[in-house]
Amino acid sequence: MNILIEDLSSDKIIIDIRAKYKYLIDHIPGSINILENKLLMNPKHYLDMNNEYVIYCDYGNRSKRVVNYLNSKGYKVYNLVGGFNSYLNKK
């Protein structure tokens, strides 16, 4: 499932799966940083089946793979099309 930067809303939790240093340099306001591997290895530690999440990486490729996996496990997650780059282009 995909979502566009224009359609981000406050009812979804935004997760940045990029490296910590990239998150510290800049990120989408309100997002939280959870490394891709940590999220994939133990999603129930970070995600609640009752919430909706938007996941992004740099360009949307890695996050798309993560979203597909998490959706297959029953989580309500969306891939931010274009990733962080789409946010930068909207600034």
The burial class, CB within 10 Å (0-12 / 13-18 / 19+), for 66 is buried
- 10, with CB counted inside 10 A (0-12, 13-18, 19+), is exposed
Reported confidence tier of residue 10, pLDDT bands at 50, 70, 90? confident
Tokens encoding 75 = 């989580």
pLDDT at 66: 97
> How do the domains of the chain map onto residue ranges?
2-90
Q: Strand, helix or coil at 38? A: helix
User: What's the topology of domain 2-90?
Assistant: Oxidized Rhodanese; domain 1 (3.40.250)
Under the banding of pLDDT at 50, 70 and 90, the label for residue 63 is: very high
With 0.85 as the threshold, say if the pTM is over it: yes
